[in-house]
Amino acid sequence: MNASNPIKVDVWSDIACPWCFIGKRKFEAAAAGFEGEVEVEYHSFELSPDTPVDFEGNEVEFLATHKGIAPEQAKSMLDNVIGIASSVGLSYDFDAMHHTNTVKAHQLLHYAKAHGIQLPMTERLLSAYFEQGRHLGRLDVLADIAAEIGLDRDDVVRSLEADEYLSDVRADQAQAVEYGINGVPFFVFEGKYGVSGAQDPTVFRNVLDTVAAELAGEPADQADPSEEAVTR
């Protein structure tokens, strides 16, 4: 595939979604072995927009309440997620996590995109939330993280306090509704193929190969991506 024509992949995700970080790693594994170039852009999706900034309780309590299940079942589910995260090199720490509202974090992602560093910011925020126990509902914490990757801390505070990129967050969410996205992560390849969930890297790789062949006007070597996870 011509290097001047990367495959565009739009990803809807939420900072508070454990599967989004896992899916990011699995997609990256697929892209690493792909011969062509891939351009990735992240889009905002709030799984639980009514969550308060300072949620009173731990992740087990949140999950049990949110899904209407027993705490023991919630703990078992989280333990399973920890194991899957570990298999892709992530170290989740649900005991240290501060469950919070993510709308300000999403605004920061748009701020970072405007400054050309959305991908590093996405990585930093997901790691800060799931691995480092940082409170991403607080402006001072978000501003600190922004400064750590070279952004102007004072300007980030100004932007977040003014809700400068809130309309961009809402636009992403509106686009998700148009696409029929009701869960994340959700990957859209060249506006044509959608992959739902933290799929195996082979699923992502098959779609990349198929799209690359289509863009080049050639028959795809891989099977048509018609798995249950993939939609047109």
Domain locations in the chain as residue ranges: 7-231
How far is Cα 117 from Cα 151, in angstroms, rounded to an integer? 9
> Do the bridges between strand 230-231 and strand 193-196 make them parallel or antiparallel, or are there none, so unpaired?
antiparallel
The pLDDT tens digits for 98-140 are 999 999 999 999 999 999 999 999 999 999 999 999 999 999 9
pLDDT number for residue 228: 47
For 49-92, the DSSP string reads TT--SS-SS-HHHHHHHHHT--HHHHHHHHHHHHHHHHHTT---
Say if residue 226's pLDDT is above 60: no
The pLDDT tens digits for 147-194 are 999 999 999 999 999 999 999 999 999 999 999 999 999 999 999 999
Helices 139-148, 153-161: crossing angle, 10 deg rounding: 140
Name the superfamily (CATH) of residues 7-231.
Answer: Glutaredoxin (3.40.30.10)
Say if residue 3's pLDDT is above 80: no
Q: Which carries the bigger pLDDT value, residue 215 or residue 120?
A: 120
pLDDT number for residue 5: 82
**Tokens 């892209």, residue located:** 31
pTM (2 d.p.): 0.92
How far is Cα 211 from Cα 109, in angstroms, rounded to an integer? 27
| Per-residue confidence band for 216, with pLDDT thresholds at 50, 70 and 90 | confident
pLDDT number for residue 230: 61
Peptide bond into 185 cis (omega under 30): yes
The pLDDT tens digits for 196-206 are 999 999 999 99
